[in-house]
Amino acid sequence: MKGPLSIRRATPADVRAIWEIERASFPAPWSRGAILGELANPVSVTLIAGTSPPTPWKLLGYVIFWVAAEEMHLLNLAVHSQHRGQGIARRLLTEALNQARQKGALIAWLEVRPSNTPALNLYNSFGFKKAGRRPKYYRETQEDALILAYAWEEEG
């Protein structure tokens, strides 16, 4: 990655670039319509990371999460394959957790494939803990999903 990284909320103009990363990252990618639907969902937040000036804007990764009833649910996190290992997912997850906490979240949940070692390493480094397993959660591969949870430290 050349130049500084900036993170902002996605707009409908970003959906095609998000979808291209989505399609290259997952065996059963979301449709462009599903991503666009998240932008219209009042409990959903889609953040994108990209290059900042002086370089031209290029979308490098995104995170989609919900905040409802004092809970955050991380739906999707992906980084362009050519830019993985550069801390972009870490920055996106940090910002998502910060925004969820500001919106009143007390706990965060996510599902992840047991075979997704890079994602598991990232989530473990943040303090996510295994809370359960969903058998055959991923239809396209029949792989289970691990349910991970993160609780913020009590303040005061």
pLDDT tens, residue order, the chain (156 aa): 555 789 999 999 999 999 999 999 988 899 999 999 999 999 999 999 998 776 777 899 999 999 999 999 999 999 999 999 999 999 999 999 999 999 999 999 999 999 999 999 999 999 999 999 999 888 888 889 999 999 997 654
Q: Domain range holding 97?
A: 5-151
24 in a domain, yes or no? yes
Q: CA 82 to CA 120: how far, in whole Å? A: 20
Q: CA 118 to CA 85: how far, in whole Å? A: 9
Pairing of strands 44-51, 71-79: unpaired
87 in a domain, yes or no? yes
18 in a domain, yes or no? yes
81 in a domain, yes or no? yes
Q: Are 108 and 69 in contact (CB under 8 A)?
A: no
Q: CA 100 to CA 53: how far, in whole Å? A: 27
- pTM score above 0.85: yes
Taken in order 73, 7, 85, 23, the sign of the CA dihedral is positive
CATH number, domain of 98, equals 3.40.630.30
Structure tokens at 46: 């889609």
* Cα 53–Cα 57–Cα 60 angle in degrees, nearest 5: 120
* Of 59, 6, 5, 13, the residue nearest 35 (C-alpha): 13
117 in a domain, yes or no? yes
130 in a domain, yes or no? yes
Q: CA 125 to CA 13: how far, in whole Å? A: 33
156 in a domain, yes or no? no
What domain count does the chain have? Answer: 1
85 in a domain, yes or no? yes
Q: CA 2 to CA 108: how far, in whole Å? A: 32
